[in-house]
DNA sequence: GTCTATACACCGATAGAC
DNA sequence: GTCTATCGGTGTATAGAC
């Protein structure tokens, strides 16, 4: 049922997140939604909690990989699509409980990023001067990287690509500098400049 | 009328952007909305166009100031609040005409940013090595700065501040490096770390 | 231009049978 | 747990008088 809610949110937007549509999607009656969730607000908060839990699990999974920084970036850039995030953000502005959930989730994720970056920096105290733009504090780096990842997915979703290739290259180089035991340097297909 | 629509969008979200609410706000009957705009979709597109025009005018105004880069950053960071942007982004995912308007607006703004940064870089070819993280291509710099500005306002709107002070410092230093004829180096009030 | 009147669909939520 | 029945409210949109 939360899956159905998430699908409606992603595909049709929060204005269409109604008890009837959710019920239809799983083949039950509309009133049953109010048996499991007292109000639509409760449902929304639960749906976000499920999404946040999933994302957190992906992130801790990435931490245990051989190249955690590369994995974390992959999680950021392949995050549940931009539409869903946009819907939850818009909802969070007017739903106090959701707002709290979202901000706590962001802070939790950022803490994990910072720890991973700090760990990589410690393992990497040799020749600091070759890091280039990656020579920032873990906190600043985490913020910039997640901002860029969100902007990349958001703009891709609406058909903007200007500068994306440059940013992908930049991130790739920074990752290689921070986590040098290279995991297959795949050749980059240069997307067109706009 | 477009002002009323924007106010509803900002304050109540796109689900509440109805002909009745807009009409109420300006003291007319609901049906009059459909006299000026054939459908609600038309109204939404017109409302975004008005916002985009306003933003563009602010930006070209900033270009003519004495410290264009500092002014442009000020425009980015004081952009129409995060809620409104979130609503238009969510709408753009399911409204083809709005999607086109939004992506064209983003590209237009980015082009202007790039030109301003390229101009500053040309005026600034002395000692490139002190630029720090600001020694990136104009395109990459523009992308990172706007991403960061959006993330700062978005997170502030929902009560997240982790890392914001660091990023503001970083931007401030980069601006000072790129546009050194200093415009009153105001002392930064250090916000609490979270 | 602005209004009245109106059609018709959908919404959240409750009460109560099975 | 899932259903039927039902409430009052709100939505987009059209037709037509003034």
Q: Residue A23, Cβ neighbours under 10 Å: how many?
A: 18
Q: Does B83 touch chain A (CB under 8 A)?
A: yes
Confidence of residue B180 (pLDDT cuts 50, 70, 90): confident
Report pLDDT for A132.
76
If you average pLDDT over every residue of chain B, what do you get? 92
pLDDT digits (tens, 9 = 90+) for B29-63: 999 999 999 999 999 999 999 999 999 999 999 99
Confidence of residue B80 (pLDDT cuts 50, 70, 90): confident
Confidence of residue B181 (pLDDT cuts 50, 70, 90): confident
Q: Does B90 touch chain A (CB under 8 A)?
A: yes
Give distance CA A16 / C1' D15 (Å): 29
Which nucleotide's C1' is closest to B42 (Cα)? D12
> How far off is chain B from A8, nearest CA to CA, in Å?
12
Percent of chain A with pLDDT over 90: 84
Contact assignment for B133 to A137 by CB distance below 8 Å: no
**What are the average pLDDT values for consecutive 10-residue runs of chain A, which has 194 residues?**
98 98 97 98 98 97 96 93 97 98 98 96 73 88 98 98 98 93 59 54
Give distance CA A32 / C1' C16 (Å): 14
Nearest chain B residue to A102 by CA: give it.
B158
If you average pLDDT over every residue of chain A, what do you get? 92
Q: Which residues contact A151 (CB under 8 A, 6 or more apart)?
A: B143, B146, B147, B150, B151
Q: Which residues contact A193 (CB under 8 A, 6 or more apart)?
A: A162, A165
Indicate if the pLDDT at residue B192 is higher than 80.
no
């Amino acid at each position: 049922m939360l899956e159905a809610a998430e699908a409606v949110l992603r595909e049709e937007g929060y204005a269409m997140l109604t008890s009837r549509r959710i019920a239809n999607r799983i083949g039950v009656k509309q009133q049953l939604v109010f048996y499991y969730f007292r109000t639509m607000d409760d449902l929304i908060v639960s749906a976000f909690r499920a999404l946040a839990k999933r994302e957190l699990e992906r992130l801790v999974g990435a931490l245990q990989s051989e190249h955690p920084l590369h994995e974390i970036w992959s999680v950021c850039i392949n995050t549940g699509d931009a539409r869903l995030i946009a819907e939850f953000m818009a909802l969070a502005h007017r739903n106090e409980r959701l707002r709290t959930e979202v901000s706590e989730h962001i802070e939790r994720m950022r803490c994990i990023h910072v720890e991973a970056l700090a760990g990589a920096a410690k393992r990497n105290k040799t020749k600091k001067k070759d890091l280039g733009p990656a020579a920032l504090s873990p906190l600043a780096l985490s913020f910039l990287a997640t901002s860029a990842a969100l902007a990349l997915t958001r703009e891709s979703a609406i058909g903007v690509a200007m500068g994306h290739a440059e940013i992908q290259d930049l991130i790739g180089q920074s990752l290689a500098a921070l986590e040098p035991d290279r995991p297959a340097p795949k050749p980059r297909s240069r997307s067109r400049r706009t």
